[in-house]
Amino acid sequence: MNTDFRRRQTMKERHEQIRDYIVQYTISHGWPPSVREIGEGVGLESTSSVQLHLKQMADAGIIKMVPGQPRCIAVPGVKITWEGDAECGKVSV
């Protein structure tokens, strides 16, 4: 198997894992997880590697983020009800 192909598959799987974690955490807690919580939830120790994955996912349209705003991660298809802050809010299930 081509190593480039395998690397893309592994990255796609990791992105799906991160996306699913963000959705489940947001549903459970009412707000998105922090970068550190995402790392803990998916087994990534480095917050910089989590940031890299989040940037790649945002660039690919898998998630939406508000730059400079912690916990402002939205997943298209998950309905968000904004409370208080116009940029971030709680999920409506």
Distance between CA atoms of residues 78 and 25, nearest Å: 12
For the chain, which domains are there?
A: 3-91 (1.10.10.10)
Res. 46: pLDDT tops 60? yes
Closest CA to 93 of 38, 41, 28, 18: 28
CB proximity list for 62: less than 8 A, separation 6 or greater:
15, 19, 75, 76
**Dihedral, 52, 57, 61, 63 alpha carbons, nearest 10:** -100
Distance between CA atoms of residues 62 and 65, nearest Å: 10
Instruction: Name the more confident of 82 and 20.
Output: 20
Taking the whole predicted model, whether its pTM rises above 0.75 is answered as yes
Instruction: Name the more confident of 74 and 81.
Output: 74
Burial of 33 (0-12, 13-18, 19+ CB in 10 A): buried
3-state helix, strand, coil in the chain (%, to 5): 50, 10, 40
| pLDDT digits 0-9 by tens, 67-76 | 888 888 989 8
